[in-house]
């Protein structure tokens, strides 16, 4: 497990519940890793258990792995995978990160890659503790230019299911991936810019107009690119209002902590695909400009 933030921690904890599996997690946060080593990885919220996970801060200490999961922020993908390439050189490696474009970076370092999408939400609330906020399925499938083997994809899906995270092995994972990207790109930047939760953004009349505008633009990009979504993004919006009204998306969490956001692989990723397919994306371009401008306004930005 490369990256042990909220999603990485939830994946590591649940994988450790599959029989006969040894889970290693690498993250530069020393207090988090130390707490996991000393007391295990504690899951709260929708679940309540403590998971045994090997927690380290230096990827050089990783053993040879059969499977790898990349859960870092997109900005850190290349450095994380390069540092762990000795342990992943014969592994099937999946990205469960936000946005699009991470698989291409992973494939520069390892030969067999999977697309992964997870809609589960949570937050690390203290070193060694992750809160499980919202349930959701996961989908994994081959990254077409450098695909993992079918048996690796099936194995990882089976292990995650055994660990308690409902996971689907699919032949084409672009649909699930872009379904999440479209929803996140329509809600996260507005949350980050206003400080409002997902539910507040989606129920404010003026902001909901912008959410719908971003969805419409992204759907045109997907249709032109031949990507079939697994559900209507507006259904995801309504579900978020019902089930995750108070959730602060990771982009808002980044803004509150004055960290660089993943706007470039969310709205920026949609805009890039729009340019590739000849679809104008002014609403997504505006979100990229506004969030980048906010980041530059911070001290040292």
Dihedral (Cα; 293, 296, 298, 299), 10-degree rounding: -160
Q: Stretch 240-262: mean pLDDT, rounded? A: 92
Q: Stretch 131-159: mean pLDDT, rounded? A: 94
**pLDDT tens track for 102-125:** 999 999 999 999 999 988 888 899
Task: Give the percent of the chain with pLDDT over 90.
Answer: 94
Distance of CA 54 to the CA centre of its chain: 22
Distances (CA, A) of 198 to 16, 214, 246, 292, 298: 31, 15, 7, 20, 23
pLDDT of residue 290: 98
| Domains, the chain, with CATH or none | 6-169 (3.40.50.720), 174-297 (1.10.1040.10)
* Confidence check: pLDDT of 301 > 80: no
Helix runs in the chain, H state only: 6-15, 30-39, 77-83, 85-88, 102-107, 150-163, 174-194, 198-203, 205-225, 233-243, 250-256, 267-277, 282-297
pLDDT of residue 123: 86
By the 8 A CB rule, do 186 and 269 touch? no
Q: Stretch 235-256: mean pLDDT, rounded? A: 92
Q: How far apart are CA 185 and CA 295, in angstroms?
A: 17
pLDDT of residue 265: 95
DSSP 13-65: HHHTTSTT---EEE-S-HHHHHHHHHH-EEEEET--EEE--EEES-GGG----
Task: Give the percent of the chain with pLDDT over 70.
Answer: 100
Distance of CA 283 to the CA centre of its chain: 22
**pLDDT tens track for 4-62:** 999 999 999 999 999 999 999 999 999 999 999 999 999 999 999 999 999 999 999 99
Q: Using alpha carbons, select from 5, 15, 128, 20 the residue that is nearest to residue 68.
A: 15
Q: Stretch 253-262: mean pLDDT, rounded? A: 95
Q: How much is the pTM?
A: 0.88
> What is the residue-averaged pLDDT of the chain?
95
């Amino acid at each position: 497990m490369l990256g042990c933030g909220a999603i990485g921690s939830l994946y590591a904890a649940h994988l450790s519940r599959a029989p006969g599996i040894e889970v290693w997690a690498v993250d530069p946060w020393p207090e988090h890793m130390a707490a996991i080593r000393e007391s295990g990885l504690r899951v709260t919220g929708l679940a309540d258990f403590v998971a045994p996970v090997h927690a380290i801060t230096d990827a050089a200490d990783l053993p040879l792995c059969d499977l790898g999961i990349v859960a870092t922020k997109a900005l850190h993908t290349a450095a994380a995978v390069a540092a762990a390439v000795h342990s992943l050189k014969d592994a099937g490696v999946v990205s469960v990160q936000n946005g699009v474009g991470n698989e291409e970076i992973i494939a520069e370092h390892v030969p067999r890659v999977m697309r992964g999408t997870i809609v589960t939400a949570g937050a690390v609330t203290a070193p060694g503790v992750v809160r499980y906020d919202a349930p959701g399925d996961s989908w994994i499938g081959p990254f077409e230019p450098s695909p993992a083997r079918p048996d690796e994809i099936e194995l990882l899906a089976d292990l995650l299911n055994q660990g308690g995270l409902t996971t689907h092995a699919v032949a084409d994972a672009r649909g699930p991936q872009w379904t999440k990207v479209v929803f996140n790109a329509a809600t996260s930047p507005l949350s980050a810019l206003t400080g409002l939760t997902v539910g507040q953004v989606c129920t404010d009349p003026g902001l909901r107009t912008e959410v719908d505008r971003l969805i419409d633009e992204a759907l045109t990009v997907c249709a032109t690119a031949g990507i079939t979504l697994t559900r209507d993004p507006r259904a995801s919006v309504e579900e978020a209002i019902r089930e995750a009204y108070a959730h602060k998306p990771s982009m808002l969490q980044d803004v509150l902590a004055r960290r660089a956001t993943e706007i470039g692989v969310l709205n920026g990723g949609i805009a890039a695909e729009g340019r590739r397919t000849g679809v104008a994306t002014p609403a997504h371009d505006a979100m990229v400009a506004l969030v980048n401008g906010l980041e530059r306004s911070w001290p040292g930005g």
